[in-house]
């Protein structure tokens, strides 16, 4: 590993900041991981993130391929992680946990006291995974109000 490379999180994987050339592989990874929904345009999500703390948009790379992502942010009160994904062929090797550890490290470095994340109500399987990393149900209910529509959202009461 070169001295300026990111942390090793799984054999041959390293975490670095997103670069524009990652756009297509990142969107493909999100689609394959089931994270793209019709009412979120992933390209616009990437464009927007590049205007706010782009250095916290993390990509895991192995053998020159994008194999994981975590879109991290700190709003001055809470840290957030969105678009956590690991490619199916690379799961179970600690990469997802490594991305979360790196997110926590970067947030702590910025003085962030707490990390929040939202899990879609259709993705409850991942809750147990987060619990194993020390995350707890908060007793809070997530609410959202769309300010810029990217696409058509179906009339599902609990959709993000």
Ligand X SMILES: CC(C)(COP(=O)(O)OP(=O)(O)OC[C@H]1O[C@@H](n2cnc3c(N)ncnc32)[C@H](O)[C@@H]1OP(=O)(O)O)[C@@H](O)C(=O)NCCC(=O)NCCS
Residues that bind ligand X (CB under 6 A): 33, 35, 84-86, 91-97, 119, 123, 125-126, 128-129, 132
Residue number, 95 or 106, with CB nearest to ligand X: 95
Closest by CA to 83, choosing from 138, 15, 31, is 31
- Please say whether the beta carbons of 57 and 51 come within 8 A: no
Taking the complex as a whole, the smallest distance from the CB of residue 47 to ligand X amounts, in Å, to 21
Residue number, 2 or 125, with CB nearest to ligand X: 125
End-to-end CA distance of the chain: 39
Taking the complex as a whole, the smallest distance from the CB of residue 28 to ligand X amounts, in Å, to 13
- Please say whether the beta carbons of 73 and 53 come within 8 A: yes
- Please say whether the beta carbons of 98 and 9 come within 8 A: yes
* Residue nearest ligand X, CB atom distance: 96
Taking the complex as a whole, the smallest distance from the CB of residue 94 to ligand X amounts, in Å, to 4
Residue number, 62 or 106, with CB nearest to ligand X: 62
Residue number, 11 or 92, with CB nearest to ligand X: 92
38: left (phi over 0), alpha (psi -120 to 50) or beta: alpha
Taking the complex as a whole, the smallest distance from the CB of residue 39 to ligand X amounts, in Å, to 16
């Amino acid at each position: 590993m070169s001295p300026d490379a990111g942390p090793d999180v799984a054999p041959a994987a390293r975490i670095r900041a997103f670069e524009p050339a990652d756009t297509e592989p990142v969107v493909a990874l999100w689609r394959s991981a089931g994270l793209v929904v019709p009412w979120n345009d992933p390209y616009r999500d990437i464009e927007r993130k590049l205007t706010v703390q782009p250095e916290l948009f993390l990509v895991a790379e192995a053998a020159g391929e994008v194999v994981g992502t975590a879109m991290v942010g700190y709003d001055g009160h809470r840290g957030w992680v969105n678009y956590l994904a690991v490619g199916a062929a690379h799961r179970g090797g600690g990469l997802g946990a490594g991305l979360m550890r790196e997110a926590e490290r970067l947030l702590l470095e910025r003085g962030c006291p707490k990390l929040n994340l939202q899990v879609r109500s259709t993705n409850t399987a991942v809750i147990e995974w987060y619990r194993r990393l020390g995350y707890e149900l908060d007793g809070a209910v997530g609410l959202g109000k769309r300010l810029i529509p990217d696409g058509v959202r179906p009339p599902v009461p609990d959709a993000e």
